[in-house]
Amino acid sequence: MAQRKSKYRFDEKRGVVRAKFYELVEDGERPAELQLCTFEQLEFKLTTRGAKRRTATEKLSHLSQLYLERLRKLQKEKKEKPPTTSAQTTKFSVLIEQYQKEILPELSFSSQKAIANQLKYWNREGGHRVLADINAPWIAQKRSELKKAKRTSATVNRYLAALSVVLSACVKEWHLIAFNPAQNVRKLKEPRGRTRYLSEKELKALLKAVSPRADLKLAVMLALATGARRMEIWSLKRDEIDLENGFATFNQTKTGVARTVPIRGESLKLLRDYLAQSDTPLLFPSEKNPNFPFDFRRSFKSALDKAKIEDFSWHDLRHSAASYLIRAGVDLRIAGEILGHKNISMTMKYSHLAPNHLTDAVEKMTKKFL
């Protein structure tokens, strides 16, 4: 016959009676042991005539009464306690990994690379935390730390955006939380983007400096001729080039929307010559892994140094292409389509370069109506 477990324990050292509440035990748990009363409270009861010593039977009855009162209170508290949610138990590192497996591959190559690098930071800083602890105050604290680490406002905002896309998936895809806490964290104010572009003298010097390398020269010429972004050029594939009609289709775009841009003149000639000497699927494959695009940053920096061009980046080739389009009199909307701008406001920052664009517009209106 199994020995019945005693629910009372008399703690001689502290002079108290404790009880174990087996009724609240779930599988694998140990029973909670709580204090019921002191020895003195058990020994004596208060009456109208003062304190009276209890009999052994009265002591047992009193303990049973105290036990039942405490048990009912504990059961009520347990019933009212909100259930544990997945957000309170799921580590954020698990969700970052899930995002990288399920959602990140659907983005463009350039977006994948940028977000993956930024998520390394969030995994290092918050991967050990549960999702419920990735809240607005914590995110704001990390924003301040990034800024103190001398990151630019634009860079800090990109890190916040990378975190936000994972939290957005937690809301919309996996239904783990009701709202995205990153949306309650203010982004840093970014300075207005610069519009650095090559002068005619710098253009000649740069093209001369990149001439020894056929791949670098072609990449630079395509950037200037199409205004495409860095990774749009670097990740171009052979089957995205239409040599017969002179077109390139950029599928790995920042906006996720493919666009086809005409290629003419010297750029098309260079492209034909280059493809005749190459048979790789990628136009500019990496030397280490031909399945990944080549990174021209180091060789481009060397060419800039050779051409003695300062304060210039690869993205400024895009600004240069935009400035050439506008200065050639191309309509802002058409220029925006070529550049892959989401809206006309992005192209308008180059409008001051247009030759007499406001004067021409007013003259057309006056001639027709006035």
- Residue 309 φ then ψ, to 5°: -105, 120
- pLDDT given at position 282: 94
Distance CA 341, CA 343 (A): 6
Write the Ramachandran bin of 368: left for phi over 0, alpha for psi from -120 to 50, otherwise beta: alpha
Residue 69 burial by CB count (10 A; 0-12/13-18/19+): exposed, middle or buried?
exposed
Q: What is the mean pLDDT of residues 42-58?
A: 86
Q: How many residues does the chain have?
A: 370
Q: Do domains 88-184 and 200-365 have the same CATH topology?
A: no
pLDDT digits (tens, 9 = 90+) for 120-173: 999 999 999 999 999 999 999 999 999 999 888 989 999 999 999 999 999 999
Q: How far apart are CA 333 and CA 141, in angstroms?
A: 41
pLDDT at 2: 44
Domain ranges within the chain, ordered by starting residue: 8-80, 88-184, 200-365
Question: Which overall architecture, per CATH, does domain 88-184 show?
Answer: Orthogonal Bundle (1.10)
For the ranges 42-46, 206-210, 232-236, 347-351, the lowest mean pLDDT is seen at: 347-351
Which pTM was predicted? Answer: 0.57
The CATH number of the structural domain formed by 200-365 is 1.10.443.10
- Mean pLDDT of the region 178-187: 94
β-bridge partners, 17: 10, 37
Does residue 311 come out as left (phi exceeding 0), alpha (psi in the -120 to 50 range) or beta? left
pLDDT at 127: 95
Q: Tokens 């509440």 appear where?
A: 21
Q: How confident is the model at residue 356 (pLDDT cuts 50, 70, 90)?
A: low
Q: State how far the Cα of 330 lies from the Cα of 336, in Å rounded to an integer.
A: 10
Q: What is the pLDDT of residues 283-292, one digit of tens each?
A: 999 998 888 8
